């Protein structure tokens, strides 16, 4: 299962061993559990508003038979269901009133696959945003050091792997798909249900191969593009356009050249979402096991190995946890 | 006598006293034409008078015409109507070229089209307030508005449009770049940030703070706040997360053990002082492997929400993928919450979860360790 905080609600995707999935919306303030997308109208769920009785589901029928879709929030009203078995994203409008439900707006196709290739969705990450709409009031009552926070997700990072049918190993490394939310929202058509990759992907995304091990991590408005990278990467079309218009200078922003991988894709996949790389000169942050950050705080966390307190290792697998003697935490303040 | 029938001009905003000899040129918007209709002028006499009204300003203008003949009945009809309108605030027309006079003199009616207009700034003077009777139909340009109004209007623009409009003319660019409020709105939009400052906090200082903040991110230069704090008393930490300035850790000790998490409030922390952690242990879970935890923060209340779904409780599907049967075993989405007691308030749904906890032997209330 997967759970993601979406404002005052939690979006929960649950699937079983047969990869049948349902999506729930849970109000973490009131306790209301509501099904927003299920595969059977007879599916019983718990509704705590109705004295823990079971209730019947709405009519929406979703047959999910092959793999597990996962819901990723785009903003307060849009949700993307990653459907790797169909090699597409289902963009849904999340309506809370009168009855919570997901309404499909369109399907955005992912990079077209070569014959006999399957797409496997690994994980999704988004930039940090507050979990509550009353964040501002909360902060002002706690006192704040610097008054800025981000209330909207700028980019979403998805990771995929590709596999030839009938083979057990994956092709190459995993692939990251960085999606600009602003570009994605503007790409949602009003009159077309299926949007080909070429109509939205190249201009709205950055698609590149990365090492398969850890998920992409956000660092404030940046992404750590690859594991152990010395640089962090910022995708921001607004910034790009503003800098271009105001300065007229040659920009440090760049776009990724297309790569040819005929094994898994039908043709070379080129994407043009501009980005800029910034060298991470802070050694503590670079050497940290991992970093977490919002717009105000940057925290470097270093796992300390028993007996070698100055030794830093970067493995997050379970067997390595036995050696960890603690965690050293360094907190930075932005501004 | 002559009068203006209709005129649509883009008139530059004039502020202060213009210097002698300077002329402020006006240009037509679209292809509107000033139609001049009147009797045949006397030789060497004034052609007529007309006036140009902008907002609150009656301005004499110089103009040149291009003439064409029209039928007399039409000309007379217009003349009669315009004469009434122009009975008060008219200024003498400047002379026209001799060849044009000859053309006019041979015609009973003449339609004159205004081809250019210029105003002598020395003649800028307020003649009288415009009234419905004397007001000529004009369409003022955006720049006729006061600076304060322009700022209000520009503040409504999306950032992309505000950037674009700065490129249309220097006046607007100067207004945007010289107004802290607009600059702040633009930069906050571009950087996708909101602020937590009080409403009466000056925008100039707000802008300075934002620039400092973004500069810090742009260069990845941060201020060290607290360094090297070890939480060695907690083992097997799986991950950290930062939610609304709470740094939260989670560790899964293993099957049969209570799940642990802890947090520290960075907002309440003091620079270079030890971080104060609150460590909490959740109750045992039958299904630790199917657990996922998310954290949500609101009003000083840290919520840890744990979900757990028993496997193999979904309805079965036949190969044709149509749901034809429902399992006899009810499917429960079991979920639970704990409040972690910054404010020591019980969450509204906490009591409801006791019922769940009891019936499913899932969870207990959190206890401090």
Q: What are the phi and psi torsion angles at B238 (to 5°)?
A: -85, -45
Per-residue pLDDT averaged across A138-166, rounded? 74
Question: What pLDDT does residue B322 have?
Answer: 27
* A contact test, residue of B196, B213, B231 with most A CBs within 10 A: B196
* B contact test, residue of A138, A287, A305, A312 with most B CBs within 10 A: A138
* Res A278 pLDDT > 60: yes
Cα B1 versus chain centre, distance: 50
For residues A206 and B60, which has the higher predicted lDDT (pLDDT)?
A206
Nearest chain B residue to A298 by CA: give it.
B222
A55 to chain B: which residues are within 8 Å by CB? none
pLDDT in tens, B103-118: 444 443 444 444 444 4
Pairing mode, strands B24-28 and B9-10 = antiparallel
Question: What pLDDT does residue B123 have?
Answer: 37
Q: Nearest CA to A131 among A297, A6, A296?
A: A6
pLDDT in tens, B303-341: 555 555 444 444 433 322 222 222 233 333 444 444 443
* Res B212 pLDDT > 80: yes
Cis check for the bond before A98: say yes or no (omega within 30 of 0): yes
The rounded percent of chain A whose pLDDT value lies above 90 is 7
Query: Position of tokens 């107004």?
Result: B179
Distance from CA of B143 to the nearest CA of A (A): 22
Distance from CA of A235 to the nearest CA of B (A): 11
* Res A120 pLDDT > 50: yes
For residues A193 and B118, give the distance between their C-alpha atoms in angstroms, rounded to a whole number: 57
Asked if A220 is an interface residue toward chain B (Cβ–Cβ < 8 A), one would say: yes
DSSP B360: H
Alpha helices in chain A (DSSP H): 135-142, 181-187, 197-204, 237-247, 283-287, 318-321
Those residues whose C-beta lies under 8 Å from the C-beta of residue B266, and which sit 6 or more positions away, are: A297, A331, B225, B245, B246, B247, B275
Query: Position of tokens 């009809």?
Result: B77
For residues A205 and A195, give the distance between their C-alpha atoms in angstroms, rounded to a whole number: 14
- Give the three-class secondary structure for B57: strand
Asked if B216 is an interface residue toward chain A (Cβ–Cβ < 8 A), one would say: yes
Query: Position of tokens 């009938």?
Result: A166
The rounded percent of chain B whose pLDDT value lies above 70 is 34
The answer to whether the CB of A181 falls within 8 A of the CB of A273 is no
The answer to whether the CB of B207 falls within 8 A of the CB of B184 is yes
Q: What mean pLDDT, rounded, does chain A reach?
A: 72
Lowest mean pLDDT among A3-17, B253-267, B353-367: B353-367
- Give the three-class secondary structure for B357: helix
For residues B200 and A228, give the distance between their C-alpha atoms in angstroms, rounded to a whole number: 45
Q: What pTM, to 2 d.p., does this model score?
A: 0.64
Pairing mode, strands A297-305 and B301-308 = unpaired
For residues A315 and B136, which has the higher predicted lDDT (pLDDT)?
B136
Q: Which of A26, A39, A285 is nearest residue B335 as measured by Cβ atoms?
A: A26
Ranges A66-80, B53-67, B240-254, B315-329, most confident: B240-254
In 10 A of CB A312, how many CB atoms?
Answer: 14
Cis check for the bond before A174: say yes or no (omega within 30 of 0): no
Lowest mean pLDDT among A158-172, A204-218, B39-53: B39-53
Phi-psi region of B129 (alpha: psi -120 to 50; beta: other; left: phi over 0): beta
Check CB contact under 8 Å for B298 and A29: yes
For residues A181 and A91, give the distance between their C-alpha atoms in angstroms, rounded to a whole number: 12
Which residues, numbered 45 to 74 in chain A, qualify as contacts with chain B under a Cβ-Cβ cut-off of 8 Å? 45-46, 48, 52, 54, 63, 65
* Res A110 pLDDT > 90: yes
Burial class from Cβ neighbours inside 10 Å (0-12, 13-18, 19+) for residue B341 reads middle
A148 to chain B: which residues are within 8 Å by CB? 193-196, 209-210, 213
Question: What pLDDT does residue A205 have?
Answer: 92
* Res A68 pLDDT > 50: yes
For residues A37 and A28, give the distance between their C-alpha atoms in angstroms, rounded to a whole number: 19
Name the helix (H) or strand (E) containing A285: helix A283-287
For residues A65 and B319, give the distance between their C-alpha atoms in angstroms, rounded to a whole number: 9
Question: What pLDDT does residue B128 have?
Answer: 43
The rounded percent of chain A whose pLDDT value lies above 70 is 61
Q: How many CA atoms lie within 13 A of A182 on its CB side?
A: 15
Q: Predicted confidence band at A141 (pLDDT cuts at 50, 70, 90)?
A: low
pLDDT in tens, B118-157: 444 443 333 444 555 555 556 667 888 888 888 888 888 8
Question: What pLDDT does residue A195 have?
Answer: 92
* Res B81 pLDDT > 70: no
The answer to whether the CB of A204 falls within 8 A of the CB of A180 is yes
Check CB contact under 8 Å for A29 and B348: yes
pLDDT in tens, B3-60: 333 333 333 333 333 333 222 332 222 223 233 333 333 344 333 333 333 222 333 3
CA angle B242-B248-B254, nearest 5°?
A: 130
Label residues B49-88 b or e (16+ Cβ within 10 Å = b). Answer: bbbbbbeebbbbbebebebeebeeeebeebbeebeebbee
- Chain A and chain B share a number of CB contacts under 8 A equal to 277
Question: What interface predicted TM-score (ipTM) does this complex get?
Answer: 0.76
Encoded tokens for B272? 């270079």
Q: Nearest CA to B224 among B212, B232, B216?
A: B216
């Amino acid at each position: 299962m997967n759970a993601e905080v979406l404002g005052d609600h939690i979006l929960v995707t649950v699937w079983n061993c047969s990869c049948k999935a349902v999506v729930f919306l849970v109000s973490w303030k009131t306790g209301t559990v509501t099904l927003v997308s299920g595969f059977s109208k007879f599916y019983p769920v718990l509704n705590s508003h109705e004295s823990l009785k079971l209730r019947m589901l709405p009519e929406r029928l979703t047959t999910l038979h092959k793999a597990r879709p996962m819901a990723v929030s785009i903003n307060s009203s849009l949700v993307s269901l990653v459907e790797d078995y169909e090699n597409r994203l289902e963009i849904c409008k999340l309506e809370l009133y009168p009855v919570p439900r997901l309404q499909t707006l369109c399907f955005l196709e992912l990079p077209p696959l070569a014959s006999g290739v399957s797409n496997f969705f690994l994980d999704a990450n988004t930039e940090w945003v507050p979990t509550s709409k009353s964040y501002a009031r909360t902060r002002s009552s706690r006192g704040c050091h610097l008054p800025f926070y981000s209330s909207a997700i700028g980019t979403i990072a998805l990771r995929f792997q590709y596999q030839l049918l009938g083979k057990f190993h994956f092709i190459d490394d995993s692939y990251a798909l960085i999606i600009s939310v602003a570009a994605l929202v503007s790409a949602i058509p009003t009159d077309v249900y299926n949007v080909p990759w070429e109509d939205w992907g190249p201009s709205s995304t950055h698609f590149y191969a990365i090492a398969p091990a850890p998920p992409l991590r956000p660092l404030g408005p940046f992404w750590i593009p690859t594991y152990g990278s010395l640089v962090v990467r910022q995708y921001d079309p607004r910034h790009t356009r503003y800098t271009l218009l105001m300065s007229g200078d040659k920009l440090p922003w760049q776009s990724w050249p297309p790569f040819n991988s005929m094994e898994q894709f039908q043709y070379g996949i080129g994407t043009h979402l501009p980005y800029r790389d910034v060298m991470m000169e802070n050694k503590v942050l670079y050497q940290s096991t991992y970093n977490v950050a919002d717009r105000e705080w940057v925290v470097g966390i270093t796992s300390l190995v028993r007996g070698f307190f100055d030794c830093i290792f970067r493995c997050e697998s379970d067997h390595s946890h036995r050696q960890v003697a603690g965690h050293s935490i360094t907190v930075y303040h932005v501004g | 006598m002559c009068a203006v029938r209709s005129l649509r001009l883009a008139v530059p905003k004039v502020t202060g006293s213009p210097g002698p000899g300077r002329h402020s040129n006006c240009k037509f918007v679209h292809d509107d034409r000033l139609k001049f209709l009147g009797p045949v002028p006397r030789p060497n006499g004034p052609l007529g008078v007309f006036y140009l009204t902008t907002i609150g300003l009656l301005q004499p203008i110089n103009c040149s015409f291009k003439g064409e003949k029209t039928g007399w009945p039409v000309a007379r009809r217009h003349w009669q109507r315009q004469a009434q309108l122009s009975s008060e605030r008219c200024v003498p027309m400047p002379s026209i070229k001799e060849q044009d006079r000859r053309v006019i003199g041979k015609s009973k009616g003449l339609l004159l089209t205004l081809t250019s207009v210029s105003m002598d700034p020395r003649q800028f003077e307020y003649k009288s307030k415009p009234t419905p009777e004397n007001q000529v139909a004009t369409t003022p340009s955006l720049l006729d508005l006061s600076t304060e109004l322009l700022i209000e209007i520009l503040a409504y623009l999306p950032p992309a449009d505000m950037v674009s409009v700065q490129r249309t003319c220097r006046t607007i660019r100067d207004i945007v770049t010289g107004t802290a409020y607009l600059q702040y709105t633009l930069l906050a939009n571009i950087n996708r940030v909101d602020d937590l400052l009080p409403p009466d906090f000056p925008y100039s200082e707000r802008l300075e703070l934002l620039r400092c903040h973004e500069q810090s991110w742009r260069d990845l230069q941060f201020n060290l706040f607290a360094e090297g704090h070890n939480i060695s008393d907690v083992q097997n930490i799986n991950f950290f997360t930062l939610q609304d300035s709470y740094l939260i850790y989670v560790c899964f000790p293993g099957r049969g053990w209570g799940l642990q998490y802890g947090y520290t409030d960075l907002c309440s922390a003091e620079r270079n002082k030890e971080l104060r952690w609150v460590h909490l242990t959740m109750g045992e879970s039958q299904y630790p492997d199917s657990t996922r935890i998310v954290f949500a923060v609101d009003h000083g209340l840290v919520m840890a929400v744990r979900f757990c779904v028993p496997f193999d409780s979904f309805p079965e599907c036949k190969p044709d993928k149509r749901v034809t049967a429902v399992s006899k075993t009810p499917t429960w989405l079991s979920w639970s919450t704990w409040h972690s007691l910054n404010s020591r308030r019980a969450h509204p749904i906490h009591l409801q979860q006791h019922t769940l906890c009891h019936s499913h032997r899932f969870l207990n209330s959190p206890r401090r360790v």
